[in-house]
Chains A and B, each alone.
Chain A
Amino acid sequence: MGSMATATAAAVVSEIRVREGRIMSAYLFNRVAQAFFVLWAAFTISFVLLQAMPGDAILIKFQNPDLGLTAQQVAEIRASYAVDSPVPVQYARTIGNFLAGDFGYSVQAGVPVASLLAAHLPATLKLASLGFLLAAVLAGVIAFLSSLAPFAWLRGALQSVPSLFISIPTFWLGIMLIQVFSFRLKLVPVINPGPWQELILPVVTLAVPISAPLAQVLVRNIDEVMTRPFVAVARAKGATRLWVLWRHVAKNALLPTLTIAGVLFGELIAGAVVTETVFGLNGIGGLTERAVGSQDAAVLQAIVVLSALAFVIINLAVDLLYPVLDPRLRTKTGAVA
């Protein structure tokens, strides 16, 4: 999934440039309308997908032979959940409930979805934000070192690091990190760790694959910015390579990188699913994995809407942030002679 981000970056930038032309308030209104459309469509697609799946949460839970329920008992339970009512009725009911802020009840966990989400969100938010932060730092370090590297071979080696990072299966990395750092070297416990200790290895696991596309985009952008004449001008002023990199190239190269944040979001979620499963963290990712396994429709529906919401908000934020960071997108009037 890593490489998608890299390639999409260019696409997003060009889209933004195109959007720049529109009038701000109308543009904002349009964007919000689109955001609602995306939310609705994500909800509907996931509803249809869930409906089409064989079996359902009730069956999966109560047909479990360990519960020892008879066919009749299962049928009674099904009736009490009203899962066999017509699909349009269920759709209308679910969307109505969602609009009213009621996410329903998790069949598998036996608690309201809202409380499940409340219980699982903090861990994922912590993991994802720290993971993203570390990924950004890693990417920055790789990109900056490789552009400062004095030797071609070192530069080549550093630039192939992202490819390597992309090539490692996340779950494998997680398990290996546990084996090495927790079990062999005994540096960090994975069982019963402190509130911050427990995040160290998962954050690394999550950050490595996320950092790869970021680093690739950043390396490419730095290379590209480095060839721009203003860099030569800055050097001609007597600025050192580091000065130029830090004060001139960095911001210019970071701008297009920002736009892949929205795309990386999906990877963050996917990474969180795997990471949380490997490390037994109690987050949305792990919840998603379990909910898919047990087809806990209400939970999945809520997760999809939640992540679609996060997606549109992140993208909107990126779009709005862009003019703040790039003065060229700020003013609408052109050059005056």
Chain B
Amino acid sequence: MTVIPGPFPPVLEVENLCIAYADSSGERRAVHDVSFRINPGEVVALVGESGSGKTTTAQSIIGLLAANGRVERGSIRLNGTDIARWTDRQLDTVRGARISLVPQDPGSSLNPVKTIGSQLGEIFRIHGALRSDEIEARVISLLARVGLSEPALRARQYPHELSGGMRQRVLIAIAIALKPQLIIADEPTSALDVTVQKRILDLIDELRAEYGAAVLLVTHDLGVAADRADRIVVLKGGRIQEQGATGAVLAAPRSPYTRQLLADAPSFTAPLRLAAVRPSIASAPDDIVVVEGLVREFVREGGGSALRAVDDLSFRVRRGTTHAVVGESGSGKTTTIRSIVGFDRPTAGRIAIDGIDVSGLTGEGLRQFRRKVQLVYQNPYGSLDPRQNVLQIVTEPLTNFLGLRRSDREEKARTILARVGLPEEALGRRPLALSGGQRQRVAIARALVLDPQLVVLDEAVSALDVSVQARILDLLDELQSDLGLTYLFVSHDLAVVRQISDTVSVLKDGRLVDGGTVSDVFENPRSDYTRELINAIPGRKRRAAA
């Protein structure tokens, strides 16, 4: 995998790059003395967690730093020419033509009011690369090249008429249209389902090979980097921790941070536990969650047959275990758990939680039911009221249910907050002043303060950095064994699921395609879909090597 040093100069050479952002309190440096190089045809991964400066570095290379950012010093040499201090006008000739970008979020990276064709054709118009009568044919052939069916139709469609994967293909088509020497792929797949993610990464690989472009792959996922990159640059807090050939870095990380990252990445770690060690599984069946023949239909706008989001789903969860519901977007997993916690009413079927039929509950009965079942949301930014402080958030369920005195309530809240690892001084803060991990701890504390029996975790760790994610998973595990909780763990990330769950249900298009204990499902997948999911987990190279 090492790159043979050829006669060609590196495509990109970044040297001693320092970047600072100005804010109301002055300038703050976000990138410190970063240096690396990319040779022709090479894939270099910039790996780091949020705040590591990886995106800032990538933005500075293509000259698209935010308005308050500036390159303090250092150079960015493209084919030997330093473009770090070029004006916008100069950069405009390079962008798109010699450096291109595959952005992070295909959902919002295409202009919603322009057709696919015009957005792809635009790059030829901007650079005057083609006569206008040639553009259409070229657009269609490019769309076909990136694997879109019916390219002529796609060209006339608008972004919202395409799926996320298709949109990312369009964006890739834009990025390769003018055969640039360098493609910056900024988290190109983090918003996509795992199976789609794999296909997109494969496509980038393929095109890179075909067009001979170098790729700067910006990612938070060490697994992706491990699979796709020739060399890895690990960033933390704006500083390079280490860099080197992928295999070497993964096999023998020199910096403690890289070691930590490797340890935290779920795709590289062994399961926290094996089903066998769980005592409760062996004991008498005591199913706290019973879902039988669950059906949920949505009436389609404009008539037509109803849309079946969940189709005849059945599964059981034993008390004190963790059950994972796995599936990609649209698989019906969110609908299912919303029915379980009583926010949504199923069309048919039965849900019993601790013996209580959920679908029959209304009003006060439903309210009382919620003491038993708590939901932790995916997005800790949205699920905490920005105007309450931590203490208020956590005492609120107590206020709702228990007639405790204020001091007692606060006492109880303090205990649980300490339990989830939040320091005393955070209690008076509002969510905005907390980090993502801290917020998710608050959300967990709120869910636990009522001593529920079932905690439903809806993608509860997927928005977090790997190291934070690992800490939260540790916490959940700890709480489960201490408090005897049952988890219903909803996730698209099989690696995480394998790490934390006892049993698993795999959903596709609202149907159960696979189920059983984690080891059964992972080792002997019964459906092609499960197999595909497992294969798509990034980091296979590393695992294979290990």
Contact = CB atoms under 8 A, between A and B. Distances in A.
A16 interface: no
A252 B301 contact: no
Contact of A328 (B112, B122, B164): B112
B64 A237 contact: no
B288 interface: no
A232 B99 CA distance: 13
A24 B163 CA distance: 25
Given A239-B122, A328-B160, A337-B163, A251 B113 contact: yes
A335 B64 contact: no
B161 interface: yes
Interface in A216-265: 228-230, 232-241, 243, 247-248, 251-252, 255
B417 interface: no
Contact of A237 (B113, B122, B330): B122
Contacts of A238: 92-97, 123, 126-127
Contact of A236 (B101, B112, B160, B161): B101
B158 interface: yes
Contact of A229 (B99, B103, B303): B103
Contacts of A24: 302
A237 B114 contact: no
Interface string B96-125: 110111011100111111100000001100
Nearest to A23: B302
Interface in B68-97: 88-89, 92-97
Nearest to B93: A238
Interface residues of A, number: 33
Contact of B101 (A232, A243, A328): A232
A239 B126 contact: yes
B301 A233 contact: no
B165 interface: yes
Contacts of A234: 111, 122
A23 B302 CA distance: 5
Contacts, number: 103
Contacts of B164: 335
A237 B96 contact: yes
B142 interface: no
A17 interface: no
Given A233-B103, A243-B126, A336 B111 contact: no
A337 B113 CA distance: 20
A230 B174 CA distance: 12
Contacts of B96: 236-239
B303 A237 contact: no
Contacts of A326: 112-113
Contacts of A333: 161
A23 B62 CA distance: 46
Interface in A11-66: 21-24
B23 to A, nearest CB: 13
Contacts of B101: 232-233, 236
B162 interface: yes
Nearest to B59: A232
Contact of B158 (A23, A236, A325, A327): A327
A235 B113 contact: no
Interface string B254-297: 00000000000000000000000000000000000000000000
Contacts of A332: 301-302
Contacts of A248: 111, 114
B444 interface: no
Contact of B301 (A21, A325, A328): A21
B88 A241 contact: yes
A80 interface: no
B160 A327 contact: yes
A331 interface: yes
Contacts of B97: 238
A335 B163 CA distance: 5
Contact of B163 (A229, A237, A336): A336
B504 interface: no
A238 to B, nearest CB: 3
B171 interface: yes
14 contacts: A230-B108, A230-B110, A232-B109, A233-B171, A236-B96, A236-B99, A237-B95, A237-B122, A238-B93, A239-B122, A248-B114, A325-B113, A327-B158, A337-B166
Given A233-B101, A236-B62, A335-B161, 4 more contacts: A229-B104, A229-B108, A328-B160, A336-B163
Interface of B: 62, 64, 88-89, 92-97, 99-101, 103-105, 108-114, 122-123, 126-127, 158, 160-166, 171, 174, 301-303, 330
Interface of A: 21-24, 228-230, 232-241, 243, 247-248, 251-252, 255, 325-328, 331-333, 335-337
Question: Which 3 A-B residue pairs are closest in the complex by CB-CB distance?
Answer: A238-B96, A236-B101, A237-B96
